[in-house]
Structure 1
Amino acid sequence: MRFEDIWIAGTGGTLGDRVPVEHAIADGSYSADVARGTGMISVAQATQAPPELAVTAGRQAIKAAADHGVVVDRATLHLHSHSNYQGLDMWPVASWVAKELIGTDLEGQPTVVQAASNGSLTSLDLAATALQAGRAETALITLGDRFAEPVDRWYLSPGMVFGDGGAAAVVSRRAGLLRLDSIVSETDAALEGLSRGDEPFGTESVPRPDMRKRTRAFLARSGISLSEVRRRSGDRTVSVVTRALTEAGRTLDDVDWFVTPFVGRALFQDSFLRPLGFTPRNTLLETGLTIGHLGPADQLYALAHLVTEDLLRPGSTVLLLGTAMGFTFSAAVLTAA
């Protein structure tokens, strides 16, 4: 979908402490051979609860937006996204985050966006669509996750390590740091079984799901091979990127920053660069290798990083790519003010 006059007015991002992967190799949590394949250097590990990480990032984004004349208030649409445990069971986490950041008297309903690792772009799409339809003047997106025990951050998903952090963005119809030009999403639901395997539905959550076992079970029984999974995923990546760029009136040659999920070096090459067949001018791969995959927060954390490190020139084109179990694929094109 193409958007008109929808802006990112403020961004925020926070991380846990960067812990060298050598510590995990030394205590047997992570294999040295796997570490060489991913290229991971360190991983962000937090002591704060995920909603607290989201609030920290949210305060940064709200302040940055206010500096550009955009105010978050009781009429602001609030979306909160996460993929892992938020610290309490049976608890409206979005309401708590909104209370901490906006107040107790709200016109709308704080809403959780459950889109796994594609939470940044899914939330941005929902917020931008609502603003363009005139349902709100501003939106606040918050994200926060921590992959502490009993979750196995080192082997939760092949080719990456999960880090702890939060991100946020204020979206506005007025002005801002980056103009949102387009977002496109697609889903290949035939691949949802990669995250389910052949496990029956239960009555309680599993504290340490064996995601590698589920993937092996799916590949053994689904009739879809690993090479077919890669082909289908590559085709969807090409499709959303091509459609988003076309709707924005751009091509891959126009992209100044290509921002993907924070995955390991081999997966970055195989899942993102190889299908698209291009060499981007700038990426945040090296940054990702020092912090890990932040669940749904990667893309909005990346925008905060680009802004705070003053890496964007006026008119720079940013291409964001999001993928998640499901399997979902999203791409967004933004232009720096």
Structure 2
Amino acid sequence: MKTEALFIAGTATYLPPATKVEQAVADGRFDAQDAEDTQLESVCEATDEAPPEMAVAAARDALERSGHRPEDIALLLHACVYFQGLELYPTASYIHREVLGDHSALAFEVKNASNGCMTALDIAARSLTATDDVAALVTTADKVSRPAIDRWNSDIGIVPGDGASAMVLSKRSGFAQVLSTSTVSDPTLERLHRGDAPFTPHHDPTLPLDLRLRKLQYLGDVELDEFTRRFRAGLSDCVNRALHDADIRLGDVARFVVPHFGRIVLQREVLTALDIDLDLTTWPWGRTVGHLGAGDQIAGLDHLVRERAVAAGDLCMLLGVGAGFTWTCAVVRITELPQWPTPSAGIGLGDGRT
């Protein structure tokens, strides 16, 4: 979808302290071969912070940086992958009240696995384009905890990290202009994350999530090469649509914001598929925080802007992928490097906000 006069006005990230991978290996929590394969440096691990609290911390800073008032926000989308701290509870409404106050806005959760924030960005872009609304707020927050999830041994080539991110989309102005978004899906690949697991009445937290087993069950019936072919085809289709609508070529893109996968998975599923250089991606930073559930892309763009790793005029491509499978891509042009105020204090365990 080609977008007109749509901007990213503010971003922010909340990251708890990170654990060095070498320490996790020394403690016996992470296999040494897996550490070598992923090439991760460290992973963020929250303690007392709840996901909604981290989301609120990031959202408040993103809103302040955007220059928008709470009343300007007509749509709030909260994307997440894991348990948010309370069953049968609308997390988006908590964020709404804490960040925007009591004015009426449409607020709901987006559950689209690791493609959550990118799906939310696409939905928000379509909503703002089709309405008279001025601005939308996208938040993400995820935290994994034992016994339900063993962070270091729940998946193949990916290690979850804890944290939150937030983005304000605006029709007025911003530090980056959204030129296009696109989403492509291929539900024939959904079984990769289901395997042979049956549907059950409820989740037993004493049985840790085992995505490794599910993936191996799927790959016992479907060759890895066939999965990779279909994965790359979906990603390439998504990217090509976004490039077409933005009227640019892949070679015009200065930086790529990629999912925080381990090195082997990132190479096989993204870098090789698009023939892009690792040095042009956010991998060097992503490997220090881990896979932030639904929030890698907002956090990655926030990092590029804060670290002055982009310049005015640069084109950036945000790449998202989630189990199911869906791919979402956004092309943005940096219009200026903002001078944002220092984030306010953290939420009880030191200052993890960036």
Q: TM-score range by the shorter chain?
A: over 0.9
State the AA in 2 paired with 1:23.
Q
Q: Is the 8 A contact 2:286 2:300 kept in 1?
A: no
Note the alpha carbon deviations across 1:286-333, whole angstroms, 9 max, x for none: 111110000110000111111222222111100111011001111110
Match of 1:136 in 2: 133
The alpha carbon displacement at 1:172 in A equals 0.5
Instruction: Flag the 1:280–1:199 CA change in 2: closer, same or farther, 3 A.
Output: closer
State the partner residue of 2:209.
209
CA displacement, residues 113-151 of structure 1 (integer Å, 9 cap, x when unaligned): 111100111000111111111152110111000112121
SS, match of residue 153 in structure 2: coil
Match of 2:106 in 1: 109
For 1:270 and 1:200, locate their aligned partners in 2 and report how far apart those are by CA, in whole Å: 29
> What is the Cα deviation at residue 281 of structure 1?
5.6
SS class of match (2:71): coil
Answer whether contact 1:10 1:61 (CA < 8 A) is retained. Answer: yes
What residue is the counterpart of 2:12 in the other structure?
Answer: 12
How far 1:156 sits from its partner (Å)? 2.6
Helix, strand or coil at the partner of 1:201: coil
Q: Distance in 2 between matches of 1:219 and 1:137?
A: 46
1:65 partner amino acid: S
**1:278 CA drift (Å):** 3.1
Q: Report the AA paired with residue 133 of structure 2.
A: A
Take 1:303 and 1:295, find their aligned partners in 2: how far apart are those partners?
15
Query: What stretches of structure 1 move > 6 A for 4+ residues in a row?
Result: none
Identical positions, percent: 39
Q: Is the 8 A contact 2:73 2:137 kept in 1?
A: no
Q: Which residue of 1 aligns with 2:238?
A: 240
Counterpart for residue 282 of structure 1? 280
| Distance verdict in 2 for CA 1:78–1:305, change over 3 Å | same
Distance 1:74 1:272 in 2: 37
CA distance, structure 1, for counterparts of residue 52 and residue 292 of structure 2: 14
2:58 matched to which residue of 1? 57
Q: Which residue of 1 aligns with 2:115?
A: 118
Structure 2 letter corresponding to 1:196? R
TM-score of the superposed pair, with normalisation by structure 2: 0.90
Q: Which residue of structure 1 lines up, in the alignment, with residue 44 of structure 2? A: 44
Inter-CA distance 280–241: structure 2 relative to 1 (3 Å threshold): farther
Q: Residues 245 and 252 of structure 1 are in contact (CA less than 8 Å); yes or no, is this contact kept in structure 2? A: yes
Q: Between Structure 1 and Structure 2, how many residues are aligned?
A: 331
Consecutive unaligned residues in structure 2, runs of 5 or more: 336-354
2:348 alignment partner in structure 1: none
TM-score by length of 1: 0.95
Per-residue CA deviation, residues 247-278 of structure 1 (Å, 9 max, x unaligned), is 10111110111111011112221111111123
Q: Could you tell which deviates more after superposition, 169-178 or 134-143? A: 134-143
Match 1:148 to one of 105, 125, 145? 145
- Structure 1 unpaired stretches of 5+: none
Corresponding residue SS for 1:234? helix
- RMSD across aligned positions (CA): 1.3
Q: Deviations over 1:56-76 (max 9, x none)?
A: 11011011001xxx3332652
SS of structure 1 residue aligned to 2:169: strand
Paired residue for 2:181? Answer: 183
Instruction: State how far apart, in whole Å, the 2-side matches of 1:120 and 1:93 are.
Output: 15
Which letter does structure 2 place at the counterpart of 1:143?
Answer: T
Give the match for residue 164 of structure 1. 162
